Amino acid sequence: MKSYITEKGKNIATSEDIEGLTSKVESVKQQFLEKNANLKAKLDLLTNLQISHKNDKRLALIDFHKKNKKWIGMLTESSPLLIDDYNNSEIKVKIHLYNQVYQEVLSGEALLELYVKDKDLIKIISDLKISTLKHLAGHAPKFLIKLKHNNNEFKLYEKMPVDTLENIEKKSKKHTGLLEKRKVIFDEYRNNMTEGLKLNMSTEGEYRKYIREYLKNIPEE
C-alpha cells in the first residue's frame, strides 16, 4: 500500500512537472511568436520605407527631367510661338515665363538633391544647367527685348505725318527699314539659338545617357 502511494505520488509529480514544462514551452513559444511578429512588422516597415524612397527618387528624377526638357524646349523655339510678337504686353509675359520655367528647373533640382547621393549624376546635372545657361538661356529673352524696341519704333513711325509726298516717302522708307531690322532680329536669334543648341548637345547627350542608366538601376516597385 505504501509502495502504491509512493508511486502514485511520483506519477502526480511527473504529471505536474510535464504540465509545468508544457506551460513554460508554450510561454516561450508565445514570446517567440510575438517577437517574431514584432520583428516582421519592423522589417515590413523598413521595406516599405525603402520602396517608398526608391519610388520618390524615381519620381524626382522624372520630374526634374520633364522640367529641364521644358526649359530647353522653350529656349530653342524657332520663334516666340503662340503670342502676338507685335504686342509688347504678350512679349513681357513671355519673358516672365522663361524665368518661371527656369525656377521650376531649380526647384526640381533641389528636390532631386534630397534623394540622389550619386555625385556623378549631381555633377552632370549641374554641368547641363551651366551649359544651358551659357549657350542658350540668354538668346530668347534678348530676342524678345529687341522685338519690344522694334515695336516701339513702329509706334513712333505710325505717328509720322503723311500730309505731303515727302513725308509719305519718309514713312514708307522707315516702315521698310523697320521690317528689315525685324528680319535681322529673327535671323540673329535663330542663328544664335541653333549654334547654342549645337554647343549644348554634347552635355545634354551625356546627361540623357547617364540618367537612363541610373533609372534602370532603380527597381520599379
What is the distance, to the nearest Å, from the Cα of residue 46 to the centroid of all Cα atoms in its chain? 27
Read off the pTM. Answer: 0.71
Could you state, in order of their start, the residue ranges of all structural domains in the chain?
2-216
- Residue numbers of the chain with a pLDDT score lower than 50: 38-51, 221
SS3 readout for the chain: CHHHHHHHHHHHHHHHHHHHHHHHHHHHHHHHHHHHHHHHHHHHHHHHHHHHHHHHHHHHHHHHHHHHHHHHHHHCCCCCCCCCCCCHHHHHHHHHHHHHHHHHHHHHHHHHHHHCCCHHHHHHHHHHHHHHHHHCCCHHHHHHHHHHHHHHHHHHHHCCCCCCHHHHHHHHHHHHHHHHHHHHHHHHHHHHHHHHHHHHHHHHHHHHHHHHHHHHCCCCC
Euclidean distance between CA atoms 10 and 16, whole angstroms: 10
- Per-residue pLDDT, 194: 93
